[in-house]
Structure 1
């Protein structure tokens, strides 16, 4: 039985059948019963049930081995990893751009988008772009960003205060959850 799984040896950390070199192992049988036996005896038990001996906890004293169908074990392990990856949520940063003299209607439109982004669990980066001589209105940009942060305080918390970097002033709001 050990030879048909040699192809899997490089991809998994578990040792199977003849690859287990510990003198004594704790064997967990398919019915849940366990006992401490020599690795040779455990291999005989596994072959008697036409299953494989798989080392699942090599660091334990003695190492823990299970008697099971190795291909089914690999399939279930791969399936669990795939499900865990699906449930994982990556946080993205959504950017909204303003000008120092942004009108109220445009501001409210972008505020509505920012609220939906925060409800989805994404971060929002609000940026005020200064062009040409607009830099003299940096106070207006700071006021706009502080107003923006104040309007979003029930949905998120300020992660980075407004700061001027070249001709851009930006603020980052993270979801409150």
Structure 2
């Protein structure tokens, strides 16, 4: 295990945008989904793969897709199989304080390492909770689910990761 920061990556919303606004790249070639493939996979921009791989961090799937992200999305992006966060059985139960049900599991999974959480469901309560408890060691990065993750988002995440740990501050994009 390394001490490199973690990047927890959600699929639906960040990688598979719910909208398809003008200018969003989709897979350029003809593609017919197989019987077990998600028909929305062409919305994942394969150009994101090299950008994500170049970040100074360890990529981790933080999605309800689970291991299916390694079978479908990782190859599409040209990524190797990534670690996958396993969600507790109580994942559907909100914590009761307005934070997202993923947040505490991600904090536990990080086990004190700095991390970035990329998700379309990061909200104000998550940022307040993180600011108060994570001392700037986490970037909770909300992606607009209508446009999905783009190069400028990856650039902003990379800039945060490039800062010395002591200089990192929770950011409030999105």
**TM-score if structure 2 supplies the norm length?**
0.26
Work out which of the two has the higher radius of gyration on C-alpha atoms and give 1 or 2. Answer: 1
Question: Which structure's residues are more often helix, by fraction?
Answer: 1
Question: Which structure's residues are more often strand, by fraction?
Answer: 1
**TM-score if structure 1 supplies the norm length?**
0.26
